[in-house]
Structure 1
Amino acid sequence: MEPSDLDRVVEAVVVDAYGDDEEYVAFLTVLQEETQLPAAATLLGVPVTVTGFDYTDPARGLIATCRGPRETGEVSLADLAFPPDTVTAWIHAAYRHHLGLPPFPARPRPEWNWPA
């Protein structure tokens, strides 16, 4: 996965966004439309089920509601890892790249376009 691949995804997602709030909402919109929920993910190596995404403010960034083995709660989307062969992993990698974080493994999706 090359940074230029992720730059292309970020640009497609935030093309009409002005400022942090709109960029977060743009990523939220794409995730909500492209992710079939519930979705499998891991948090610190523990399997969880993602049941929703939300955004409240730039200090928290995007959050995911997750159901784990014992509890349900909200976590930072950036802390999750999705199965690398999913579109959600590809969007998540672009989100982490946009935040200046190293992306988690994801298979490049050259066929993916936003908006579809």
Structure 2
Amino acid sequence: MSKARLQKLVEEAIVDAYGESGQVTGFYTILENDLRLPLETQILGVTAIVERVDITLQR
């Protein structure tokens, strides 16, 4: 995925958000609705299977 496409998806996810927590929630909602899990990916050259996505709002 190109950086431009990713930026467009992020903008769509947070367009109506109020504040940082609203942006995080909007982005998470898009992932939850559109991401087909489980999925296989590479992390630092190691194959990993993503089974779920969770958010934690910590500072």
TM range (shorter): 0.7 to 0.9
Query: Partners in 2 of 1:14 and 1:20 — Cα distance?
Result: 9
TM-score by length of 1: 0.44
Greater share of strand: 1
TM-score (normalised: structure 2): 0.78
Please identify runs of 4+ aligned residues in structure 1 that moved more than 6 A. none
Contact 1:20 1:58 in 2 (8 A): no
What is the rounded CA distance, in whole Å, between the counterparts of 1:14 and 1:45 in structure 2?
A: 31
Per the TM alignment, residue 58 of structure 1 is displaced from its structure 2 partner at its CA by 4.7
Larger helix proportion, structure 1 or 2?
A: 2
Unaligned runs of 5+ in 2: none
CA distance in 2 between counterparts of 1:43 and 1:7 reads: 21
1:34 corresponds in structure 2 to 34
Residues 34-91 of structure 1 show CA distances to partners (whole Å, capped at 9, x for unaligned) of: 11111111111100000101111154xxxxxxxxxxxxxxxxxxxxxxxxxxxxxxxx
* Aligned positions, number: 58
The aligned residue for residue 45 of structure 2 is 45
How much is the aligned-residue C-alpha RMSD, in angstroms?
A: 1.7
Q: Is the 8 A contact 1:13 1:27 kept in 2?
A: yes
Structure 2 vs 1, CA of residues 55 and 47 (structure 1 numbering), >3 Å: closer, same or farther?
A: same
- Which residue does 1:8 correspond to in 2? 8
Identity over aligned pairs, percent: 33
